[in-house]
Amino acid sequence: MRRIRELTAAAEAKIAPKDSSPRAVAIGTEIRALMRSLPEQDRSAFVIRALAAGDHGTVAAVLHAPPSVAGLNEHMHANLRRQWLRKAAPDELAAIALIERAAEAATKAGEALLRRYEESFDHHALDAAEGRASQARQAEAGEAA
Protein backbone atom coordinates (compact mmCIF):
# COMPACT_ATOMS: atom_id res chain seq x y z
CA MET A 1 0.00 0.00 0.00
CA ARG A 2 2.88 2.37 0.68
CA ARG A 3 4.07 1.99 -2.92
CA ILE A 4 0.59 2.77 -4.23
CA ARG A 5 0.54 5.92 -2.09
CA GLU A 6 3.96 6.92 -3.46
CA LEU A 7 2.87 6.33 -7.06
CA THR A 8 -0.39 8.21 -6.50
CA ALA A 9 1.54 11.15 -5.06
CA ALA A 10 3.90 11.11 -8.05
CA ALA A 11 0.95 11.09 -10.46
CA GLU A 12 -0.78 13.89 -8.57
CA ALA A 13 2.42 15.95 -8.64
CA LYS A 14 2.40 15.74 -12.43
CA ILE A 15 -1.03 17.33 -12.59
CA ALA A 16 -0.55 19.85 -9.80
CA PRO A 17 -0.82 23.52 -10.77
CA LYS A 18 2.59 24.69 -11.95
CA ASP A 19 2.10 28.35 -11.15
CA SER A 20 0.55 29.75 -7.98
CA SER A 21 1.32 33.39 -8.65
CA PRO A 22 -1.48 35.96 -8.22
CA ARG A 23 -1.62 36.29 -12.01
CA ALA A 24 -2.09 32.53 -12.47
CA VAL A 25 -4.76 32.45 -9.74
CA ALA A 26 -6.63 35.30 -11.47
CA ILE A 27 -6.41 33.56 -14.84
CA GLY A 28 -7.71 30.34 -13.24
CA THR A 29 -10.66 32.25 -11.84
CA GLU A 30 -11.44 33.62 -15.30
CA ILE A 31 -11.12 30.17 -16.88
CA ARG A 32 -13.61 28.72 -14.37
CA ALA A 33 -15.99 31.64 -15.02
CA LEU A 34 -15.72 30.92 -18.74
CA MET A 35 -16.46 27.25 -18.08
CA ARG A 36 -19.59 28.12 -16.09
CA SER A 37 -20.77 30.41 -18.90
CA LEU A 38 -20.59 27.61 -21.48
CA PRO A 39 -23.61 25.43 -22.17
CA GLU A 40 -23.32 22.32 -19.99
CA GLN A 41 -22.86 20.01 -22.99
CA ASP A 42 -19.80 22.05 -24.13
CA ARG A 43 -17.92 22.13 -20.83
CA SER A 44 -16.26 18.71 -21.01
CA ALA A 45 -15.31 19.32 -24.66
CA PHE A 46 -13.60 22.56 -23.56
CA VAL A 47 -11.47 20.64 -21.06
CA ILE A 48 -10.78 17.80 -23.51
CA ARG A 49 -9.52 20.32 -26.09
CA ALA A 50 -7.25 21.87 -23.45
CA LEU A 51 -5.98 18.38 -22.54
CA ALA A 52 -5.26 17.57 -26.19
CA ALA A 53 -3.45 20.89 -26.63
CA GLY A 54 -1.33 20.28 -23.52
CA ASP A 55 -2.74 23.42 -21.88
CA HIS A 56 -1.82 22.48 -18.32
CA GLY A 57 -2.89 25.84 -16.89
CA THR A 58 -6.43 25.60 -18.21
CA VAL A 59 -6.86 21.98 -17.21
CA ALA A 60 -5.42 22.63 -13.75
CA ALA A 61 -7.65 25.67 -13.24
CA VAL A 62 -10.73 23.55 -13.95
CA LEU A 63 -9.82 20.20 -12.41
CA HIS A 64 -8.08 21.39 -9.26
CA ALA A 65 -11.17 23.37 -8.30
CA PRO A 66 -14.26 21.80 -6.75
CA PRO A 67 -16.56 20.53 -9.51
CA SER A 68 -19.32 23.05 -8.86
CA VAL A 69 -16.91 26.00 -9.00
CA ALA A 70 -15.91 24.92 -12.51
CA GLY A 71 -19.50 24.29 -13.59
CA LEU A 72 -19.10 20.51 -13.70
CA ASN A 73 -20.97 17.76 -11.96
CA GLU A 74 -18.94 15.37 -9.82
CA HIS A 75 -19.12 12.51 -12.33
CA MET A 76 -17.91 14.67 -15.22
CA HIS A 77 -15.16 16.20 -13.05
CA ALA A 78 -13.93 12.76 -11.93
CA ASN A 79 -14.01 11.41 -15.49
CA LEU A 80 -12.02 14.36 -16.87
CA ARG A 81 -9.54 14.07 -14.00
CA ARG A 82 -9.00 10.36 -14.79
CA GLN A 83 -8.38 11.25 -18.44
CA TRP A 84 -5.85 13.88 -17.37
CA LEU A 85 -4.05 11.44 -15.08
CA ARG A 86 -3.93 8.81 -17.85
CA LYS A 87 -2.32 11.35 -20.16
CA ALA A 88 0.05 12.95 -17.62
CA ALA A 89 1.10 9.91 -15.58
CA PRO A 90 0.63 6.70 -17.62
CA ASP A 91 3.61 4.92 -16.05
CA GLU A 92 2.46 5.59 -12.49
CA LEU A 93 -1.09 4.48 -13.27
CA ALA A 94 0.17 1.31 -14.97
CA ALA A 95 2.32 0.49 -11.95
CA ILE A 96 -0.62 1.06 -9.58
CA ALA A 97 -2.85 -1.20 -11.70
CA LEU A 98 -0.15 -3.90 -11.71
CA ILE A 99 0.23 -3.75 -7.92
CA GLU A 100 -3.54 -3.88 -7.44
CA ARG A 101 -3.84 -6.91 -9.75
CA ALA A 102 -0.99 -8.65 -7.91
CA ALA A 103 -2.59 -7.95 -4.53
CA GLU A 104 -5.93 -9.28 -5.79
CA ALA A 105 -4.25 -12.42 -7.14
CA ALA A 106 -2.44 -12.96 -3.82
CA THR A 107 -5.70 -12.54 -1.91
CA LYS A 108 -7.49 -15.03 -4.16
CA ALA A 109 -4.61 -17.50 -3.83
CA GLY A 110 -4.69 -17.21 -0.04
CA GLU A 111 -8.45 -17.73 0.02
CA ALA A 112 -8.11 -20.78 -2.23
CA LEU A 113 -5.40 -22.19 0.02
CA LEU A 114 -7.59 -21.76 3.10
CA ARG A 115 -10.52 -23.43 1.32
CA ARG A 116 -8.33 -26.38 0.33
CA TYR A 117 -7.05 -26.68 3.89
CA GLU A 118 -10.59 -26.63 5.28
CA GLU A 119 -11.71 -29.19 2.72
CA SER A 120 -8.84 -31.54 3.48
CA PHE A 121 -9.01 -31.17 7.25
CA ASP A 122 -10.65 -34.08 9.08
CA HIS A 123 -12.96 -32.36 11.55
CA HIS A 124 -14.27 -35.71 12.87
CA ALA A 125 -10.78 -36.80 13.86
CA LEU A 126 -10.21 -33.48 15.63
CA ASP A 127 -13.52 -33.80 17.49
CA ALA A 128 -12.63 -37.36 18.53
CA ALA A 129 -9.16 -36.28 19.73
CA GLU A 130 -10.65 -33.40 21.71
CA GLY A 131 -13.13 -35.84 23.28
CA ARG A 132 -10.33 -38.24 24.28
CA ALA A 133 -8.30 -35.35 25.73
CA SER A 134 -11.30 -34.19 27.73
CA GLN A 135 -11.87 -37.72 29.06
CA ALA A 136 -8.20 -38.00 30.02
CA ARG A 137 -8.35 -34.70 31.92
CA GLN A 138 -11.48 -35.86 33.73
CA ALA A 139 -9.82 -39.18 34.61
CA GLU A 140 -6.74 -37.36 35.94
CA ALA A 141 -8.94 -35.08 37.99
CA GLY A 142 -10.78 -38.12 39.40
CA GLU A 143 -7.51 -39.86 40.36
CA ALA A 144 -6.17 -36.72 42.00
CA ALA A 145 -9.28 -36.43 44.22
pLDDT in tens, 60-110: 999 999 999 999 999 999 999 999 999 999 999 999 999 999 999 999 999
Answer yes or no: do 70 and 136 share one domain: no
Asked if 98 and 62 sit in the same domain, the reply is no
Same domain assignment for residues 11 and 73: yes
Query: Which pLDDT score, from 0 to 100, does residue 51 have?
Result: 94
The answer on 106 and 43 residing in a single domain is: no
Neighbour count for residue 71 (Cβ, 10 Å):
20
Q: Are residues 82 and 102 in the same domain?
A: no
Q: Are residues 57 and 100 in the same domain?
A: no
User: What is the domain count for the chain?
Assistant: 2
Decide if 10 contacts 92 (C-beta within 8 A). yes
The last residue of a domain, from among 41, 66, 88: 88
Question: Are 58 and 113 contained in the same domain?
Answer: no
Which residue segment(s) compose the domain that 32 sits in?
2-88
SS3 (DSSP) at 1:
coil
pTM attached to this predicted model: 0.67
Do residue 14 and residue 32 come from a single domain?
A: yes
